[in-house]
Amino acid sequence: MNTMLKTIGKAARTAIMGGLLVAGTAYADIDAGPAPDFTLKSQSGENLRLSEFRGEVVMINFWASWCAPCRQEMPLLDELYRQYQPLGFTILGVNVEEDSTKARQMLKKLPVNFPVLFDNKSDVSKLYNVVAMPSTVLVDRDGNIRYLHQGYKPGYEESYQQQVRELIRE
């Protein structure tokens, strides 16, 4: 599949990525090419751009406050961030709700150390063809999408950890 994805256009890669998510794949190991760049306002009020993190392994986690698996996963992601951040890893938590009020309230109860961004107009979630919550994309140091995850069940964090370690070592 990696070879096939390298030879097709961006629109087709995006459709395939979306198809993997719709098909209910827990995760897919793919090389879908460059991660689409974006800029979003963060919880602290500053604009953050994905391309600013080139050279780091980046986990983009799309979530919503109404999503129980998202809430369950959040502290585990924060622990992953604290463990691997010194080695060149970051997480960008992208909230997909139109109104960020409930997300901000949730973050007061479940604070995290990684940057949280707000995709109020769903531009970035559409760009990444997000169809389920949570959805997680792992991007390598060169800015290429390497793993896609849909949903969360206890134990997925072990896959995250293994994949993050692999990408950090590259």
Backbone dihedral angles phi then psi of residue 25, each to the nearest 5 degrees: -65, 125
Cβ atoms within 10 Å, residue 6: 11
In this predicted structure, what is the pLDDT of residue 6?
A: 39
In this predicted structure, what is the pLDDT of residue 128?
A: 93
Total residue length of the chain: 170
Residues of the chain falling short of pLDDT 70: 1-31
Find the DSSP H helices in the chain: 2-7, 10-22, 68-84, 101-109, 123-127, 156-169
Name every residue whose Cβ is closer than 8 Å to that of residue 124 and which is 6 or more positions away in sequence. Answer: 38, 40, 94, 117
In this predicted structure, what is the pLDDT of residue 31?
A: 53
Domain that holds residue 59: 2-169
Termini Cα distance of the chain:
20
- Contact, 149 vs 124, CB < 8 A? no
In CATH, what number is assigned to the domain containing residue 41?
3.40.30.10
- Contact, 101 vs 76, CB < 8 A? no
Tally of domains in the chain: 1
CA atoms of 95 and 119, how far apart (whole Å): 6
Of 54, 47, 103, 52, nearest in space to 74 by CA:
103
In this predicted structure, what is the pLDDT of residue 32?
A: 73
CA atoms of 11 and 17, how far apart (whole Å): 10
